[in-house]
Amino acid sequence: MPLDSLRSLVAGPLLLNQLPKGPHYGILAEFATPADLYHACQRVRDAGFTRWDAHTPFPVHGLEGAMGLRRSPLPWIVLVMGLTGAALGFLLQWWVHVKAYPLVISGKPFNSWPAFIPITFEVGVLFAALGAVLGMLGLNRLPMHHHPLFRSRVFERVTDDAFFISIESWDPRFDSSATRKLLESLGARSVELLES
């Protein structure tokens, strides 16, 4: 399962270049409450849309399930980075104290591995944390300062108290009038067609 997400991580940037030929980016619908959004997401997922997203000011519990999202592969990235960091940290110390400039310090053997543990651990954690942050930014395709959604005035409230669903026009099931009607029927407060 994590492999699917990794595949989309690689395919994503390629897909982004296949912008729609038409004049529209997609449809943006605003909802009043998390509950409304939750139920609407379930219906949109069940309707078979794939190129769509929901937007909230804070993470809403259970929404990933309502959208049918798979688990994030981030923990695997972090694990690999962490183990790599720890190995590099230990290797550095071992090489310095066994190969490069061996010195007898406080009567300990050259490969004094217990003494190497603190730094090994710290470097492992550092790499793991970097992996988490860079991995998260990579998976989220951030920074992305320009996005068609920012053109909507209503969308400014996405970081305040408004909840949205956006369906992109190059989803195979997209149709400007039918999709609009669907979103309106799901209890949207406002529906807007966005240019690309």
Partner 1 sequence: MSERDQVALRPEQATIPPGHSWNRVPVISAVCALLGALACAMLGASNPKQFFFSWLVSFLFFLSLSLGALFFVLIQYASQGGWGIVLRRIGETTFAMVPVMAALFLPLLLGLHDLYSWTVPGAAERDALLRWKSPYLNVPFFLIRAAVYFVIWSFIALLYYRGSRGQDVSGDARVSARLRRIAGPSIIVLALTQTFASVDWIMSLTPHWYSTMFGVYFFAGSFVGFIALLSVVAVAMRSAGLLDTVITPEHLHDVGKFLFAFTAFWAYIAFSQFFLMWYANLPEETIFFKARIEGSWKAVSLILMAGHFGAPFLYLMGRAVKRRGSTLALGGAWLLAMHYVDLYWQVMPTLHPEGVRPSALDVAAFVAVGGCFVAAASWLMRRQALVPLRDPRLAESLAFENM
Partner 2 sequence: MAQTEAELLDNPVAGHPTLILRSPDFHAITEVVAGPVEGPTPIGWWLLFLPSLALLGLLGVAVSWLFWEGIGVWGLNVPVGWAWDITNFVFWVGIGHAGTLISAILFLFRQTWRTSINRAAEAMTIFAVMCALTFPGIHVGRVWVAYWMFPLPNQMSMWPNFRSPLLWDVFAVSVYGTVSALFWYVGLIPDLAMMRDRAKTRTRRLVYGIFALGWRGSVRQWHHYESAYLVLAALATPLVLSVHSVVSMDFATSVLPGWHATIFPPYFVAGAIFSGFAMVLTLMVICRVAFHLEHIITLRHFDYMAKIMLVTGTMVGFAYATEFFTAWYSGNPYEIFTFLNRAGGPYAWAYWTMISCNVISPQIFWFKKARTSIPILFLMSIVINIGMWFERFVIIVTSLHRDFLPSAWGYFTPTIWDVSCLLGSFGLFFTMFCLFVRFLPMVATAEVKTVLPQADPHWQPGPERAIRDRGATPPSRGTHTPAPEGAA
CB-based contacts of 173, cutoff 8 Å, min separation 6? 47, 48, 49, 179
Q: How far apart are CA 81 and CA 75, in angstroms?
A: 10
SS3 159: helix
Shortest CB 114 distance to partner 1, Å: 5
Q: Which does 107 bind (CB under 5 to 8 A by kind): partner 1, partner 2, none?
A: partner 1
Burial of 189: CB neighbours in 10 Å, binned 0-12, 13-18, 19+: middle
Shortest CB 83 distance to partner 1, Å: 10
Shorter beta-carbon distance to partner 1: residue 48 or 59: 59
Site string for partner 1, 75-114 (x = CB under 8 A): ----x--------------------------xx------x
Tell me, by CB under 8 A, how many residues bind partner 2: 74
For residue 25, report the phi and psi dihedrals to the nearest 5 degrees.
-80, -45
Shorter beta-carbon distance to partner 2: residue 13 or 75: 75
Q: Is 74 an interacting residue with respect to partner 2 (CB under 8 A)?
A: yes
Shorter beta-carbon distance to partner 1: residue 117 or 130: 117
Q: How far apart are CA 176 and CA 191, in angstroms?
A: 11
Contact 169, 25 (CB under 8 A): yes
CA-wise closest residue to 154 among 195, 196, 190? 190
Q: Is 59 an interacting residue with respect to partner 1 (CB under 8 A)?
A: no
Residue 176 CA: distances (Å) to CA of 30, 54, 101, 173: 16, 18, 71, 10
Q: Is 56 an interacting residue with respect to partner 2 (CB under 8 A)?
A: yes
Q: Is 129 an interacting residue with respect to partner 1 (CB under 8 A)?
A: no
Interface with partner 2 by CB under 8 A: which range of 16-24, 117-125, 173-181, 186-194? Answer: 117-125
Q: Is 86 an interacting residue with respect to partner 2 (CB under 8 A)?
A: no
Q: How far apart are CA 6 and CA 41, in angstroms?
A: 24
Residues interacting with partner 1, by CB under 8 A?
Answer: 79, 106-107, 114-115, 117
